[in-house]
Structure 1
């Protein structure tokens, strides 16, 4: 099967933008030309590659060619850069919110020194990160899933540790003897998928949710709300360490929850993707607990 890069580009543009017309605008050609490229590609493949619904989406067979189109385009851009072309390499990455708010910032700091490179972040949960990897929408992902997506490699990074904490005034108000009143004290959640607080309560023998549960779906704002005294929450230790040391927040118990994290990336011979992987490894070594990933699969996944 002979594959034409222009045809693959048309398929990728449809996957990205959801219609032949939007793909044509992206490629600076006519919708008729996009249709001709897709028909030619489908004829070469011997099967339908695009579902002509609204929005248009690749069929399962088409997703394989979308992935190939993204990979070959990345390699072409890198080769062009090596020959002094001006195109920027895009590195789309999926990462959970708490990693982005803490240790992954070191990755961004290193990437700031790379010429002609555009980092495109997707803040997504583990399940959707897997989908983004399968479709080729991202080249790499920080995930809690140890099983590699087909065509990708996976490696353990370490574990992000969470500690239960609250503002001192809130902790004092709900203290009963030497322990917090876990059953009554207002708590925080990031979203409906955030199981970290529930897991801590289960360890304390509490099987029901407190009467007041605040939801704040932003890592930085979740932290600020805990510090302001809105409720208690499980905070990433790297994020909370300075305020814990200064007494601006209080640790409620010695309990911890360690969430194992993994790096999944395409098996692709790309210098820029390899540099990104090296930056992820280095940042994880500095900030995550080593030897923890995969040790306790009963822990909740990363907050997203």
Structure 2
């Protein structure tokens, strides 16, 4: 296979994918600025406002900690999934050393694959078919409902996800989550007057779904931008490799031609 054939194969694969991703990012930017900006404000200052204002924390004697890692089922996006797996591993180690009982919920097949060999015993639930379509609140609600119906009574936890910063950068971040018992048992909750138990439970469940929805949106945007960057880098690296191979091919061909000419000239001279 020569350099031209390799270049054609690469252009058939990487170039169309890169253009598709650029189109997706360009279409997403108006929505991203509006939606993520709104979600950041709502999620940070409204959905989690009760947790912050009431300074809700799980008591020291509460041992059950839940970690939710948000990834997807798709690859070709650099280290976007590896960063989530690395953070989860560090959290599992730190919490286990502190005497906590740790369970993990994997959102996306990639995070399951990265942790399956070393941390499979920590998995409580895993979810597939993530990242193939734009995330919706219904997807987040389904994950939250499955978790609430799993029967596992956690005390507190964290949702670990990739927060979108720009087209070329993201940051692995986390949001706190708490069980209904932890929220209801908080001593600082007295700053709110007469909160009905049903209202508080609905708030806790709705907050969980909203944090998951926010995390899915941020992670999906980060993944698409990382995939576009990865394809751009791959295209540049492939072009450099193809140029080097083409140069080597041309030099080798020239050497063969030169050798054959020398043999022909030498043979003609010998006949004379």
Tell me which of the two structures has the higher relative contact order, counting C-alpha pairs closer than 8 angstroms and 6 or more residues apart: 2
Larger fraction in strand: 1
Structures share fold, TM-score greater than 0.5? no
Larger fraction in helix: 2
Q: Which has the larger radius of gyration?
A: 2
Q: With the length of structure 2 as denominator, give the TM-score of the two structures.
A: 0.23
Q: With the length of structure 1 as denominator, give the TM-score of the two structures.
A: 0.21
